Structure 1
Amino acid sequence: MSFYRSRYPRKKGKYEVNSNVRFTTTDCVFKTKITTSFFQLCDARENKKNYKVKDSDDIARYICGHRLLASTSWDKVDYILFPLNIKEGCHWILVVFDIVQRSLEVYDSFPARGGVNFEVKNIVEMLSIVLPYYLSVVKFYDKRPELKATPKYSGIDEFEKIEFHFITKGVPRQQDDSLDCGVFVATFMSL
């Protein structure tokens, strides 16, 4: 089975010896964890409470490679693939965290007519705000000291929101009757 046609990109990313692209993935539960954490962060800011992130939280466990089978710690890869489910299983997006560029690239399988889907933008915004807190608590930047010397990381606060971009050209489209994110991710990776 070809790397690009595989429905198991996390296993391929970890075990494929001939791959020159270092990546790992999360699962569709990750969005729920991000959303919950985002609202806790908002509540803490509103009530002037300290927002405490723990290295035992599920998001931290994803980052360390301990949450999923065949997952890889994020400090050993250059890209994280987030397949995110929007609207009760009928709409998938893929967000790619380019660690070196400190950016999120958003591939929407059902783009809104005339622009960006508001719900998709909100989810990506949450991800871009919450991730820096967890990267800090797991001491991600201590494990990747070479990043501090790059233009995208030098001189920034590690809690600063991660920039994101919507990629619109050449994005595979989810079929109306398809609920399978594996097909979308595999199609995306074959580009």
Structure 2
Amino acid sequence: MPWHVKDDVYVPVNSNVEFHWVLTVVALKERCIKVYDFMSSNRSSRKLSSEIQKMATMLPKYLELSGFFEQNERTNWLVLKCYQGKNKSHPFEVSHVTGIAQQESSSLDCGIFIVSYTEYLSDGLQVPSWGISSDTLRLRYASLL
């Protein structure tokens, strides 16, 4: 499905230095990248921050070159408040979402959390602040397969 008919695009992002993934949601109508980090350590956040800043800078240029902003039969992008006063290559704002359930610091459950959060968000639900069990999620997704 083309970008210009979507409101949100879900993108998993990996830290180059560690085996850690976060979910980013590119909210096109808000000109914002929302970051869902399931591990609250400052060390991983600092490393991911540079990766996400790169995406926030490169994404508008890609959208401009691909003709995204000219696709306005569904949304007139340039009249949205968050696009006004900014040129097409101005970086997207980055927002780190807080108050969300966290994985255990020693676990490698990033993939399970990405799938779970994507499911919550795409269904229009709030991500819980606690109570996500990676064991339960593994069983659930295995049964769906």
% identical equivalent positions: 19
Cα distance in 2, alignment partners of residues 121 and 186 from structure 1: 21
After TM superposition, give the deviation of residue 180 of structure 1 in Å.
5.5
Pair 129,83 (structure 1): closer, same or farther in 2 beyond 3 Å: same
1:123 aligns with 2:51: yes
User: Which residue is equivalent to 1:76?
Assistant: 5
Residues 116 and 90 (structure 1), Cα distance of their counterparts in 2 relative to 1, 3 Å cut: closer
Aligned residue pairs, count: 118
Q: 1:184 aligns with which of 108, 113, 118?
A: 113
Q: Which runs of 5+ in 1 are unaligned?
A: 1-71
Q: CA deviation at 1:161?
A: 0.9
CA gap 1:154/1:96 in 2 versus in 1, 3 angstroms: same
Deviation at 1:171, TM superposition (A): 3.9
Cα RMSD, aligned residues only: 2.2
Q: CA deviation at 1:111?
A: 2.1
Greater helix proportion: 2
1:155 alignment partner in structure 2: 85
CA contact (8 A) 2:103 2:109 kept: no
1:105 to 7, 15, 34: 34
Which of the numbers 100, 108, 116 marks the counterpart of 1:170? 100
Deviations 1:22-63 (A, max 9, x none): xxxxxxxxxxxxxxxxxxxxxxxxxxxxxxxxxxxxxxxxxx
CA contact 1:91–1:109 (8 Å) conserved in 2: no
For structure 2, list consecutive stretches of 5 or more residues without a partner in the other structure.
Answer: 121-126, 128-145
Quick one: distance in 2 between partners of 1:111 and 1:172?
7
List structure 1 segments (4+ residues) > 4 angstroms apart after TM superposition.
none
Amino acid at match of 1:97: V
